Structure 1
Amino acid sequence: MKKILVLTMILSIFLCSFSYAQESWIEWKNKTIEDLDKTWTIKFDNILDKSTIQDYYIFIKNIDGNLVNSDLFIKDDGKSVIVDPIDSFKEGEEYYLYISNNVKSEDGKILRKGVKMSFLRILKAKSIVLNKEEVSIEVGSAERLTVAVLPDYVINKKVIWKSENKKITKVSNKGKITVVSSGTTDIIAKGENTEIEERCKVIVIDQIPTVEVDNFDQLFDAIENGYKVDINDDKVKEAYERAEEIINEVMMI
């Protein structure tokens, strides 16, 4: 019977008395690793036949089917095999650890089936980017921030949102800022299980000034300063409204 894969990444396999004419693989649940030189320990229930601990019976391949050069060692207990990669794993690339059913115990028992387990080499988030560094909000209104967690191949992109002063603003787990009272504070986006964070300065005022806009330069200046706009030019107005539609579509994703 197969034991559960524990957090220490020790694989446990039960050797049983079955003859097997052709290789067949049991696929184990995929895992993620952060160590680029991750060493795997495979623990069996029986003393192993050392002659069957070969790199063509226990090996690692990348997603293209190329072998990852590795050394194999049997531990002193005679039941555990260490797979030590010579080549480093590449970030964001998927790999497969294979354990053939040709591996035997000293008394001739073999695996019921070979084992195949995929794993992905990832890193924690290296940076967080917010769509705004500073924003002005009127009392009684709301604003939503969007966030990008980098690099793109990081699997855990969860962000923890926090208002530095909840008496001024609150923020939802999707980055929506709700105003409580006037003042200045920071909204903080922090990567889960990391120390990486990014801040947006939030200025809450009683009323945001409205400026008239006749061209794109004036529009950009108004937006940069957090003003409301009254657009007189039809082309500028159309471009501004389209931009708002795109932003709203992104926020809905």
Structure 2
Amino acid sequence: MQKGRSLLFKLLKNIFIFAVVVLICELNYCSFALADETAQNDAPRQYVTQSSPESREDVPVDKTWTIKFNQPVDLSSAQNSIKVVNKETNGQVSLNISLSNNGYYVNVSPKQSYALNSEYILTVDSNLKSRYNRQIKSNFSMDFRTTLKVVSVNDMNVAISQGDNYTLPTTVAATMSDGTVKQVGVVWSKSVNTQDPPGTYVYQGSVEGYDKPVNLSVTIKPSNKNVESVASTSMWIWELQSEVDSYGGIDALIQKLQNMGINNVCIKYNEGSSPSGGGTNFRDDFLKYVGDFRRNGFIVGTWGYNYFNYPESEADIIVDALNNSDYYVFDAEGDSNVAGVANKFDAAEQVCQIVRSKCPNAIIGYSSFPIASYHQNIPYSVFNKYCDFSAPQCYWKEMGWSVASCLDTMAREYKAYGLDKPIYPIIQTYNTDPADYDTYSGYNFKATGLWSLDSMGSTFEYYIGDRGSKFGS
């Protein structure tokens, strides 16, 4: 029986040996693993133990050390047994010492900031006691050096082109208290959007230990892509296969367009997020004949009637269209939440953002109503932000307006609403007079879309003859 008590005493003694583990971290920025054998180790932790002390560099001057024990510590004992000494002056630092986590953690911070760029030693002597009146096995010490102070960070300027792949820097050059220049981490208040309209934008960041904001001016220049490379008279096509059949084959259709002086086609590619609509697979028909157009020197664009009901899926098919064509035009119409893009400002932003992020250098336009004030539920401003040109649908006969009233009102309203992208109108190829085309031609737009090959009337065909370029400037 006596031998059993002796074994039990030794076992308890081994279990309750008082030990210290120092966890190096900023207060409030670490999670702790328990020191005893029943701890759950969720992730690797960074420890400094009595057997493997390490020196710490670039320590903030207001650093709070957290020291962890396997028994709750007596506060008065900790205040007497824990010291920090400046190794250069041998002066003892006045400390704030407190307990947390039911006494298992001792928090050590200076009452006044440590000196910059100085060496210190933190010690825990063997007189430290737990609340169970047990002492730690041996002394512990750890060296550390404080960081230099950031004295200044110069304002910075950078210029990029709209759509560039650019992110704000993660470090900035800072002048330190000893006169050296060092890269230090910076956290910005917001990220940059390279699709923002051209202009200068100021971003502010913060550097730890520096009480002034870091300023970075980003100048976004207009995109250097050549939008005018697709600016010519373009024939729009809705159902390509039907037109191929109507003209007796793709070669005959292409010959017809060439005879009209047209070398630019804009062909339907999608219906919302789908490549198909009304029994026609627009994407398949386009891919079937796009090579024929290109072999004959055509500029080949795509367009789609947009819904934005499934933004990610619709963005994906638009990206696919851009990968297979020279440009893409959003057909942004509709006067309800079901048909078209009306009232879908957030979805329009999401689609345009995805498309631009994946195709930053693509040429993209949008086509919508010419009188913007009549259709304020159309997200004109979103399209103007992300697109390179506008193609308002100036169908004056359908509107019951004169050519001049339609075009002049369109121009005034687009300007009033801040829609500042180049205007390449789309005009109707049916139910109008040669005199109207003469009036339109006098406006000398750089490019004109013709709606459409599917509905082209004999009056238009006779008027244009072999001079498709007559609609351009």
Bin for the TM-score computed over the shorter chain: 0.3 to 0.5
Q: 1 or 2, which has the higher helix percentage? A: 2
Q: Which structure's CA Rg is the greater one?
A: 2
Q: 1 or 2, which has the higher strand percentage? A: 1
Relative contact order, higher structure (CA 8 A, sep 6+) = 1
The normalised TM-score by structure 2 is: 0.26
